[in-house]
Amino acid sequence: MENFRFRALASTFDRKKVSYTMPDKKPSEYFGEMTFNLSAMKEYLTDESFKKVMSAINEGTKIDRESAAQIAASMKAWSISKGATHYTHWFHPLTGSTAEKHDSFVNPDGGGKAIENFRGNELIQQEPDASSFPHGGIRNTFEARGYTAWDPTSPAFILGNTLCIPTIFVSYTGEALDYKTPLLKSSFALDKAARAVCKMFNGDIGRVYASLGWEQEYFLVDRSLFIARPDLVLTGRTLFGHASAKDQQLSDHYFGTIPERVKEFMKEFETEAHKLGIPVKTRHNEVAPNQFECAPVYEEVNIAVDHNQLIMYLMEKAARNHNFEVLFHEKPFAKINGSGKHNNWSLATDKGHNLFAPGKTQKENLRFVTFLVNVLMGVNEYEDLIRASISSASNDNRLGGHEAPPAIISVFIGSQLTSLLDRIEASNDKSGLNEELKAALNINVPNIPEILMDNTDRNRTSPFAFTGNKFEFRAVGSSANCAKPMISLNTVLAKQLTNFKRDVDQLLAKGLDFEDSVYQVIKDYIVRSKRIRFEGNNYSEEWQIEAQKRGLSNIKTTPETLKTLVKKNIIELFEETNVLTARELEARRLIRLEKFIKKVQIESRVLGDMANNHIIPIAIRYQNTLIENVKGLKEILDLQTYGKVSKNELEIITNISHHISEIKRGVDKMINERKVANNLVDEAAKAVAYDTKVRVTAESIRTHIDKLELLIDDELWPLPKYRELLFIR
Ligand code: ADP
Ligand code: MG
């Protein structure tokens, strides 16, 4: 019998260099050439339409039908000049990936010929047959229509031969069925609230928006080895596999030399990204073997989210060209690091200020401290929501594991800011505040932000760390759509800033001056949000105990976190800020529960099949060889010698038997647990059953399979092992 694993391994030895034709230009010359960006718009649009688009982007005004027709015609002309033949509305349904349905520009002209056409209403709105997208009960079958509507704030782009138009996706009754709609609404709420606060400090600010710089971690696996592992193909992670004798112990992969094959792959997707205007900048090896990271320069949050979704697609495509498969799963391999997607988040004004960066004047620094303390307050108040915004079946495998943040949300701000806040807390009037600000922020030293950055970037264990001029949310999973955490953070801060203004206004009304009022409110917030700050080792056992004392939640599983979405204060938060309605939140809870159940169900089925079809038969075959051998020994040896030599082999045989029967018993038990779970009507109860029963049994089956892997003849083992999957040659 041919061993499939050996065939897969053999084909990796003979990888020819894949050639990707790099453009013979500098990146600056092709950057953004496949996007309908400002310069393309200037070239193709009339002045009138250009102004309309700009005001839609900057002020959120609506684009009228007449202009839409002109814009559509220009987009068509531009994209045809770049080789496009089709167009699609490109959106982010709640499946977590992106969706598109391509239509040709070609239309019959009635006279037996055809013309390329793209009308204004085709740009603005479409009605995709959307009945199969998750809707969480929002759409009844009789109103199963969904609409996509153009988002002019994110530039259209060309992928292959298709013009892709970023859109939102809503139901017939107007409820959001995607991530983009609430993201845009959260940005709107944040702009409004932050602008009002900025105005208290300085009247001259037109717009405030969140920036996002994501850092995408991922694993690469040779494609033939990937295909030889049904668990990787069907679930994106290995469901078993004994640890490799060497993996990340020596930390020799982190920032190490990138293998040549991998570099070629990186060059390809980075070049394609640059053509689409995605400013990818950084690439390096991560801690685990075969783990890498890429990061762009940060952008406005809506564009950054689109770009992250796009880059994941580009990476998957380029990987296949180089005989790789890219794994975005949060925990593809047990017992080594998982993959996250750090979300670096800050607030910018149209005047170019970063509101999370200290400034040069005392007033700017007071504003900086105000925003910093408001983030602390917001995160403290809504830590459970922020936790829920990053939960998923796959991220549950990662959080709390090897070098990954725990399930407890806390904020790290560094020693310098900690002592500043401590001193403000201890001071008795605003002169204290002024002095402390001056002292702590070294006003008039031109390179303050840099100093602060060096000071704050040390604690890598915090799930939410202030790193000099931005917050870095590190608990986000590598496969997640960044919009999910961004919607929560934007909304929480919007609400918090509104509260802040209300609190300051109340003091102003009592006749206090502005600085006194801000001082009092900040001081109060510092005290009230103190428990959310943690500077120590978040990976430690002590923190788990300390966090519990502080009353911080430590919600370890997705089904538990999802209860948060329909808590009274969370519904109020989203309704007051106009980001999501109670109905939309409930739909999202149901969709995420269903997704969780399905993911665990699929994993459990794949594991059961592989145990029965791959592992047990091979184990029995090897066991038979050993039995034959023992029988043979008995024939040729005298009884005493036989007794001695057969002892070890008999031990192996019994050992194998033990694991086989445990696996068999486990699979039967797991199938039964699935049946019981499937009979539960309530989705939440079903998810809990999958989590606490099916998943736990699957883990115990895994343990026995991993033991067998060490016992059975390597020549018989049918599936690529960790040591083979994890080291690209
Ligand atoms: P690392 O976390 O690996 O040390 P950096 O701290 O250099 O990396 O930052 C990585 C990411 O942070 C990049 O994507 C970068 O664009 C983003 N970033 C830097 N400044 C900001 C900012 N003001 N707002 C949002 N993201 C930012
Ligand atoms: Mg980082």
User: Is the beta carbon of 465 within 6 A of some atom in ligand 1?
Assistant: no
DSSP for 65-96, please give it. HHHHHHHHHHHHHHHHHTT--EEEEEB-BTTS
User: What is the CA(218)–ligand 1 centre distance, in A?
Assistant: 18
Structure confidence at residue 360 (pLDDT): 78
User: Is the beta carbon of 462 within 6 A of some atom in ligand 1?
Assistant: no
Who has greater pLDDT, 272 or 108? Answer: 272
Which 3 state secondary structure label does DSSP give 101?
Answer: coil
Could you tell me the CATH number of the domain that includes residue 413? 3.30.590.10
Q: Which structure tokens are listed for 708?
A: 């067998």
Query: Do 70 and 113 belong together in one domain?
Result: yes
Q: Phi and psi at residue 580, in whole multiples of 5°?
A: -145, 145
DSSP for 409-450, please give it. --EE--HHHHHHHHHHHH-SSHHHHHHHHHHHHTTT-TTHHH
Per residue, the 3-state secondary structure of 351-381, as one string, reads CCCECCCCCCCHHHHHHHHHHHHHHHHHHHH
Structure confidence at residue 224 (pLDDT): 93
Query: Do 160 and 255 belong together in one domain?
Result: no
User: What is the CA(235)–ligand 1 centre distance, in A?
Assistant: 31
Which residues does residue 167 pair with via DSSP β-bridges, in sequence order?
A: 150
Task: Judge whether 194 lies within some domain.
Answer: yes
pLDDT in tens, 593-617: 999 999 999 999 999 999 999 999 9
Task: Judge whether 318 lies within some domain.
Answer: yes
Task: Judge whether 18 lies within some domain.
Answer: no
User: If pLDDT is split at 50, 70 and 90, which confidence band does 436 have?
Assistant: confident
User: If pLDDT is split at 50, 70 and 90, which confidence band does 142 have?
Assistant: low
Query: Do 171 and 107 belong together in one domain?
Result: yes
User: Is the beta carbon of 354 within 6 A of some atom in ligand 1?
Assistant: yes
Which 3 state secondary structure label does DSSP give 693?
Answer: helix
Q: Give the closest residue (by CA) to ligand 1 atom 11.
A: 213
Range with the lowest mean pLDDT among 130-144, 161-175, 495-509, 661-675? Answer: 130-144
0.85 surpassed by pTM: yes
Query: Do 473 and 528 belong together in one domain?
Result: yes
Task: Judge whether 104 lies within some domain.
Answer: yes
Which residues does residue 291 pair with via DSSP β-bridges, in sequence order?
A: 219
Name the residue of 215, 453, 486 whose CB sits within 8 Å of the most ligand 1 atoms, as the mutation to test its pocket.
215
pLDDT in tens, 182-200: 999 999 999 999 999 999 9
Atom of ligand 1 nearest to the CA of 214: 14
Amino acid residing at 349: T
User: What is the CA(472)–ligand 2 centre distance, in A?
Assistant: 7
Q: Which of 178, 200, 230 is the last residue of a domain?
A: 178
Which residues does residue 150 pair with via DSSP β-bridges, in sequence order?
A: 167
668 pLDDT more than 90: yes
Query: Do 127 and 227 belong together in one domain?
Result: no
Atom of ligand 1 nearest to the CA of 469: 23
Cα–Cα dist 107/104, whole Å: 8
Average pLDDT, the chain: 91
Which residues does residue 176 pair with via DSSP β-bridges, in sequence order?
A: 170
Task: Judge whether 605 lies within some domain.
Answer: yes
Q: Which structure tokens are listed for 526?
A: 């510092």
- What average pLDDT score do residues 470-482 get? 96
The total number of structural domains in the chain stands at 3
Q: Could you count the other beta carbons within 10 Å of the beta carbon of residue 558?
A: 26
pLDDT in tens, 545-589: 999 999 999 999 999 999 999 999 999 999 999 999 999 999 999
Range with the lowest mean pLDDT among 138-147, 512-521, 718-727? Answer: 138-147
444 pLDDT more than 60: no
User: Is the beta carbon of 274 within 6 A of some atom in ligand 1?
Assistant: no
Query: Do 340 and 289 belong together in one domain?
Result: yes
- What average pLDDT score do residues 439-443 get? 64
Task: Judge whether 431 lies within some domain.
Answer: yes
Q: In the chain, pLDDT over 90 holds for what percent of residues?
A: 69
Task: Judge whether 681 lies within some domain.
Answer: yes
Could you tell me the CATH number of the domain that includes residue 57? 3.10.20.70
User: Is the beta carbon of 456 within 6 A of some atom in ligand 1?
Assistant: no
Cα–Cα dist 76/82, whole Å: 10
Task: Judge whether 390 lies within some domain.
Answer: yes
Query: Do 695 and 631 belong together in one domain?
Result: yes
User: Is the beta carbon of 344 within 6 A of some atom in ligand 1?
Assistant: yes
Cα–Cα dist 326/565, whole Å: 32
Q: In the chain, pLDDT over 70 holds for what percent of residues?
A: 95
- Cβ pair 120, 63 in contact under 8 A: no
Instruction: State the pairing for strand pair 464-466/411-412.
Output: parallel
Cα–Cα dist 275/380, whole Å: 41
User: What is the CA(411)–ligand 2 centre distance, in A?
Assistant: 15
654 pLDDT more than 90: yes
384 pLDDT more than 70: yes
626 pLDDT more than 70: yes
Q: Which of 144, 178, 212 is the last residue of a domain?
A: 178
Query: Do 696 and 552 belong together in one domain?
Result: no
Domain boundaries, position 657: 596-725
Structure confidence at residue 442 (pLDDT): 59
449 pLDDT more than 60: no
User: What is the CA(727)–ligand 1 centre distance, in A?
Assistant: 29
Structure confidence at residue 74 (pLDDT): 93
- What average pLDDT score do residues 22-48 get? 93
Query: Do 574 and 640 belong together in one domain?
Result: no
User: What is the CA(406)–ligand 2 centre distance, in A?
Assistant: 16
Atom of ligand 1 nearest to the CA of 344: 26
Name the residue of 294, 305, 344, 466 whose CB sits within 8 Å of the most ligand 1 atoms, as the mutation to test its pocket.
344
Atom of ligand 1 nearest to the CA of 295: 14
Query: Do 114 and 199 belong together in one domain?
Result: no
Q: Could you count the other beta carbons within 10 Å of the beta carbon of residue 566?
A: 14
Which 3 state secondary structure label does DSSP give 233?
Answer: helix
141 pLDDT more than 70: no
- What average pLDDT score do residues 269-277 get? 97
User: Is the beta carbon of 215 within 6 A of some atom in ligand 1?
Assistant: yes
- What average pLDDT score do residues 490-503 get? 98
User: Is the beta carbon of 211 within 6 A of some atom in ligand 1?
Assistant: yes
- What average pLDDT score do residues 668-684 get? 97
Structure confidence at residue 533 (pLDDT): 97
Query: Do 334 and 476 belong together in one domain?
Result: yes
Q: Give the closest residue (by CA) to ligand 1 atom 17.
A: 213
Query: Do 607 and 563 belong together in one domain?
Result: no
* Residue whose entry in the numeric block shows the structure tokens 């296949």: 320
Atom of ligand 1 nearest to the CA of 293: 3
Q: CA Rg, the chain, in Å?
A: 29
* Residue whose entry in the numeric block shows the structure tokens 């112990």: 249
Cα–Cα dist 93/711, whole Å: 46
User: What is the CA(343)–ligand 1 centre distance, in A?
Assistant: 8
Residue 471 CA to its chain's centroid (Å): 16
> What burial letters (b/e) apply to 505-518, b meaning 16+ CB within 10 Å?
eebeeeebeeebbb
Q: Which structure tokens are listed for 511?
A: 């006749």
User: If pLDDT is split at 50, 70 and 90, which confidence band does 428 have?
Assistant: confident
Q: Which of 512, 547, 580 is the last residue of a domain?
A: 580
